[in-house]
Amino acid sequence: MPELPEVETIARGLATRLQGENIEAVWLGSKPEPLKSAAPEIAAALESKRIANVRRAGKHIVFDLVAAGEGEPRAQWIVHLGMTGRLLVCPPEAEVAKHTHAIVRLSSGRELRFIDPRRFGRLRVVNEFSIPGSEPLEIGQTDFAALFHGRRTPIKSALLNQKLLSGVGNIYADEALFRAGIRPRRRAASLTQSDLRRLRQALKRVLKQAIRLGGSTIASYVDADGQEGSFQLRHRVYGRGGEPCLVCKAVIRRVVVAGRSTHYCPKCQR
């Protein structure tokens, strides 16, 4: 599933290509799963609107829409990519890929297409969207530490809790914990203030580096141009179970935490 760096990369690419575009028409497929709002509601909210901005909020892509000739947003189109969702800007003559669930025709003649083979992605429209947790790249140290105070769950589980931090997923939780030297199964409440400072700094560093490298392409992720990311080449623990640690040569272990594959170094992380 695309995480914060992948969604940020896609949102930035779409903002560069689509900001100021007018939406002329919307086609929505017949599969019900991707539509969290009713198809007529989505079409009515998008058609004859201008895309004022495209941005990320947590793991969601937010299209701010305004009516022609107006400046204030009238609605927001919210896209969650799920596990295999993609948003691609295409010329109209490009072949329509299988599992295309939405086509947005733009005033420039191009099309924005939502493709999702597994149909875990979701499309909806709202008046004002807000994420349930804090933004990992913006939260200060005091607020970050407060998120984990008294929590007896493993720190890996807490990092994945979208009501605490919106956008952090499996890959970047593992990578941040490794860089902070913290084992994923440690209870969140047991972390010292020093541990939490290291963790926040490590999390911000790994997220920013991943954004610079276009995210991690593990399976099907591509950006708005159909290009893969390259941060997977910088993974230090994620997906490296049974391989030597790049720092100490100990064997990277794979365990399951909160139902998720979790990778760590038994020597570097305490």
Instruction: Tell me the per-residue pLDDT of 153-199, one tens digit each, with 9 for 90 and over.
Output: 999 999 999 999 999 999 999 999 999 999 999 999 999 999 999 99
Q: Which of 49, 56, 59, 179 is catalytic?
A: 59
User: Which CATH homologous superfamily contains domain 4-126?
Assistant: MutM-like, N-terminal (3.20.190.10)
184 is catalytic: no
Q: Tell me the pLDDT tens digit for each residue of 130-149.
A: 999 999 999 999 999 999 99
2 is catalytic: yes
This model's pTM is above 0.85: yes
Domain 141-264, CATH: 1.10.8.50
Q: Quick one: how far is CA 28 from the chain centroid?
A: 23
Q: Which of 3, 8, 111, 175 is catalytic?
A: 3
- Give the separation between CA 82 and CA 86, rounded to whole angstroms: 9
Beta bridge partners of 114: 87, 102
Q: Which of 110, 186, 234, 260 is catalytic?
A: 260
CB of 257 closer than 8 Å to CB of 157: yes
For the chain, which residues make up each domain, given as ranges? Answer: 4-126, 141-264
Q: How many CB atoms lie within 10 A of CB 128?
A: 7
135 is catalytic: no
152 is catalytic: no
pLDDT, residue 233, reads: 81
Burial of 30 (0-12, 13-18, 19+ CB in 10 A): exposed
The C-alpha angle 146, 59, 78, rounded to 5 degrees, equals: 125
